[in-house]
Chains A and B, each alone.
Chain A
Amino acid sequence: MKPNVIIINPKDNVAIAVETIRQGKPVCLPGGGDFTALADIPYSHKVALQDIQEGENIIKYGEMIGKATENIGKGQWVHTHNLDIDHKR
Chain B
Amino acid sequence: METFQGYERPDGSAGIRNYVAVIPSVSCANGVVGLIARGAPDCIPLYHGHGCGRSIEVPVHKRALVNLGKNPNVAAVLIIGLGCEILKAEGLVAAIAESGKPVEYLSIQRDGGSRKTATKGIDIVQRLLKEAESCKRKAFPLECITVGLECGGSDAFSGVTANPGVGLASDWIVDQGGTVILTEDTEMIGTSHILERRAKTPEVAAAIATMVADAEKLTHDLMGPLAPFVIAPGNMDGGMSSIQEKSLGCIVKAGSRSINQVVDYAEIPSQKGVILMDGPGYDTESLTGLAAGGAQLIVFTTGRGNPIGFPIVPVIKVASTSQLYQSMEDDMDINAGSVLEGKDLKDLGADIIALIKKVLDGERTKAEINRQDGILCLYTMHPAF
Interface residues of A (CB under 8 A from B): 6, 8, 16, 18, 42-46, 60-61, 63-66, 78-80, 83-86
Contact = CB atoms under 8 A, between A and B. Distances in A.
A52 to B, nearest CB: 13
Contacts of B194: 63
B229 A80 contact: yes
Contact of B160 (A8, A65, A86): A8
A63 B156 contact: no
Given A18-B340, A61-B249, A85-B228, A66 B160 contact: no
B239 A45 contact: yes
14 contacts: A44-B156, A44-B239, A46-B156, A46-B239, A60-B245, A60-B248, A65-B242, A65-B244, A65-B245, A66-B241, A80-B241, A85-B228, A85-B243, A85-B244
Interface of B: 155-157, 159-160, 190-191, 194, 228-229, 236, 238-239, 241-245, 248-249, 252, 303, 321, 340
Contacts of B243: 85
Given A79-B239, A80-B236, A6 B244 contact: no
A83 B156 contact: no
A86 B244 CA distance: 11
Contacts of B249: 61
Main secondary structure of the interface of B (DSSP, over half): helix
Nearest to A65: B245
Contacts of A79: 239, 241
Contacts, number: 61
B239 A42 contact: yes
A40 to B, nearest CB: 12
B238 A44 contact: yes
B245 A66 contact: yes
Nearest to A9: B248
Contact of B244 (A42, A45, A64): A64
Contact of A16 (B157, B190, B191, B244): B157
A41 B347 CA distance: 29
Contacts of B303: 44
Given A18-B340, A79-B239, A85-B244, A63 B191 contact: yes
A78 B340 contact: no
Nearest to B245: A65
Given A16-B160, A61-B159, 17 more contacts: A6-B160, A44-B155, A44-B157, A44-B238, A44-B303, A46-B156, A46-B241, A63-B194, A65-B190, A65-B245, A66-B244, A66-B245, A79-B239, A80-B242, A83-B242, A84-B242, A85-B228
Contacts of A44: 155-157, 238-239, 303, 321
A78 B303 CA distance: 20
**Residue among B156, B190, B236, B303 having the largest count of chain A Cβ atoms under 10 Å:** B156
